Chains A and B, each alone.
Chain A
Amino acid sequence: MSGNPKTLFEKVWESHLVAEPANEPALLYIDLHLVHEVTSPQAFEGLRLAGRKLRRPDRTMATIDHNVPTTIEGRLKIEDMIAARQIDTLRKNCADFGVTLYDVESSEQGIVHVIGPELGLTKPGMTIVCGDSHTSTHGAFGALAFGIGTSEVEHVMATQCLPQSKPKTFRISVEGELPDSVTAKDVALGIIGRIGTDGATGCVIEYAGSAIRSLSMEGRMTVCNMSIEAGARAGMIAPDETTFAYLKCREFSPKGPDWDKAVGEWKKLASDEGAKYDRELVIPAIELAPYVTWGTSPGMVIPVTEAVPDPAIAKSDADRRGFERALEYMGLKAGTPIEEVAIDRVFIGSCTNSRIEDLRAAAKVVAGHHVHAHVRAMVVPGSQKVKAQAEKEGLDHVFRAAGFEWREPGCSMCLGMNPDILQPGERCASTSNRNFEGRQGRGGRTHLVSPMMAAAAAITGHFTDVRTWEFKKEEVLA
Chain B
Amino acid sequence: MKSFRKLTSKAMPLDRPNVDTDQIIPKQFLKRIERTGYGEFLFYDWRQDKDFELNRPQHRGAEILIAAKNFGCGSSREHAAWALSDHGFRCVISPSFADIFHSNAGKNGILLVTLPEEQVQTLLDRAAKHEDHQITVSLEDKTVIDNHGFSATFTIDPFRRYCLLEGLDDIGLSLRHESALDKFEQKHDAEFWVAPKPRETAKGSAHA
Whole-angstrom distance between the alpha carbons of A436 and B104 in the complex?
A: 20
13 A–B contacts, CB within 8 A, in A order: A18-B180, A42-B33, A52-B171, A61-B196, A80-B31, A100-B201, A106-B203, A108-B202, A108-B206, A126-B194, A149-B81, A152-B103, A162-B174
Q: Do A133 and B75 contact each other (CB < 8 Å), given the known contacts A163-B174, A198-B70, A434-B20?
A: yes
Nearest CB in chain B: distance from A419 CB, A: 11
B131 contacts chain A at the CB level, 8 A cutoff: no
The answer on a CB contact under 8 Å between A102 and B200 is no
Could you say which of A81-89, A346-354, A389-397 contacts chain B? A81-89
Residue from A16, A61, A82, A159 with most neighbouring chain B CB atoms (10 Å): A159
CA distance A123 to B192 in the complex (A): 11
Q: How many residues of A contact B (CB 8 A)?
A: 90
The yes or no answer to A41 lying at the interface (CB within 8 A) is yes
Q: Which of B16, B78, B200 contacts A150 (CB 8 A)?
A: B78
Q: Are B27 and A148 in contact (CB under 8 A)?
A: no
CB-based contact B206/A105 at 8 Å: yes
Q: Identify the closest chain B residue to A159 (Cβ).
A: B174
Determine if B198 and A152 form an interchain contact, defined as CB atoms under 8 angstroms apart: no
User: Does the CB pair B18–A32 fall under 8 Å?
Assistant: no
Q: Report B202 CB to chain A, min CB distance, Å.
A: 5
The residue that B188 contacts in the complex, of A29, A86, A438, A439, with Cβ under 8 A, is: A29
Cβ 8 A contact of B33, one of A16, A89, A161 = A89
Query: Which residues from chain B contact A154 at a C-beta distance below 8 Å?
Result: 171
Q: Does A25 contact B (CB under 8 A)?
A: yes
Of the listed stretches B2-10, B55-63, B94-102, B141-149, chain A binds: B94-102
| Nearest CB on A from B195, distance (A) | 7
A17 → B minimal CB distance (Å): 8
**Are the CB atoms of B194 and A58 closer together than 8 Å?**
no
Asked whether any CB of chain B lies closer than 8 Å to the CB of A158, the reply is yes
A58 and B198 CA atoms in complex are apart in Å by 6
Return the 6 tightest CB-CB contacts between A and B, nearest first.
A149-B78, A41-B33, A149-B104, A106-B206, A151-B107, A100-B198
| Nearest Cβ on chain B to A442's Cβ, whole angstroms | 6
Contact segment of A217-225, A274-282, A314-322: A314-322
A126 CB contacts on chain B under 8 angstroms = 194
A82 to B171, Cβ gap below 8 A?
Answer: no
A126 to B188 CA separation, bound complex (whole angstroms)? 11
- With A58-B197, A233-B99 as contacts: A152 and B203 at CB distance below 8 Å: no
Does A147 lie within 8 Å of B202, measured CB to CB? no
Contact B68 A318 (CB under 8 A): yes
Interface status of A242 (Cβ within 8 A of chain B): no
Residue ranges of B at the interface with A (Cβ–Cβ < 8 Å): 15-18, 20, 22-23, 26-28, 30-35, 45, 68-70, 73-79, 81, 96, 98-100, 103-104, 107-108, 117, 121, 157-159, 170-171, 173-175, 177, 180-181, 184-185, 188, 192-203, 206-207
* A434 pairs with B33, CB closer than 8 A: no
Given A149-B81, A159-B171, answer yes or no on A107-B99 (Cβ-Cβ < 8 Å). no
Given known A23-B159, A58-B196, A417-B28, contact A231–B35 (CB-CB < 8 A) = no
Of the listed residues B184, B197, B200, the one surrounded by the most CB atoms of chain A closer than 10 A to its CB is B184
Which of A6-14, A176-184, A254-262, A448-456 is found at the contact surface with chain B? A254-262
B99 and A102 contact, CB distance less than 8 A: no
CA distance A173 to B29 in the complex (A): 39
Given contacts A149-B76, A149-B81, A159-B174, 6 further A-B contacts (CB under 8 A): A24-B173, A83-B31, A126-B194, A155-B171, A158-B175, A252-B197
A133 touches B76 (CB 8 A): yes
Contact partner, A436, options B23, B184, B207, Cβ 8 Å: B23
Closest to B179 in A: A19
Beta-carbon contact of B197 and A198 below 8 Å: no
Q: Which residue of A lies closest to B81 (CB)?
A: A149
Across the interface, which residues of A come within 8 angstroms of B74, CB to CB? 133, 228, 434, 436
Bound Cα distance A160, B196 (Å): 14
Known A108-B206, A161-B174, A437-B23; contact A149-B103, beta-carbon cutoff 8 A: yes
> Which of B31, B100, B104 counts the most chain A CB atoms within 10 A?
B31
Select A438's contact among B32, B45, B117, beta carbons within 8 Å.
Answer: B45
Chain A residues numbered 252-308 whose CB sits less than 8 Å from any CB in chain B: 252-254, 258, 261-262, 265, 297
B20 / chain A contacts, CB cutoff of 8 Å: 297, 434, 436
CA distance A52 to B171 in the complex (A): 10
Q: Which residue of A lies closest to B30 (CB)?
A: A38
Expressed in whole angstroms, the Cα–Cα distance for A139 and B188 within the complex equals 20
Which residues from B are CB-within-8-Å of A265?
A: 193
In the complex, whether A132 has a CB less than 8 A from a CB of chain B is yes
Instruction: Tell me the smallest distance from the CB of A458 to a CB of chain B, in Å.
Output: 24
Q: Compute how far the CA of A21 lies from the CA of B174 in the bound complex, rounded to whole angstroms.
A: 10
With A86-B31, A322-B17 given, is the CB distance from A151 to B78 under 8 Å? yes
- Of the candidates A45, A89, A151, A252, which one forms a contact with B170 in the assembled complex, judged by CB atoms under 8 Å apart? A151
Chain B neighbourhood of A478, CB < 8 A: none
Q: Residue A216 at the B interface, CB < 8 A?
A: no
User: Judging by beta carbons under 8 Å apart, are B31 and A434 in contact?
Assistant: no
Q: Which of chain B's residues have a CB closer than 8 A to the CB of A297? A: 18, 20
Check A431 for interface membership: any CB of B closer than 8 A.
no
* Contact in complex: B77, A100 (CB < 8 Å): no
The reply on A243 being an interface residue by CB < 8 A is no
Are A25 and B159 in contact, with the CB atoms below 8 A? yes
Q: In A92-129, which residues have CB < 8 Å from any B CB? A: 100-103, 105-108, 121, 123, 125-126
Query: B95: nearest residue on chain A (CB-CB)?
Result: A318
Let me know if B195 and A163 touch, CB within 8 A. no
- Expressed in whole angstroms, the Cα–Cα distance for A122 and B76 within the complex equals 20
Give min CB distance, A437 to chain B, whole Å: 6
Q: Is A415 engaged at the interface, CB distance under 8 Å to the other chain?
A: yes
- The reply to whether A155 and B197 contact each other, CB–CB distance below 8 Å, is no
Whole-angstrom distance from the CB of B155 to the nearest CB of chain A?
Answer: 14
Chain B residues with CB under 8 A of A423: none
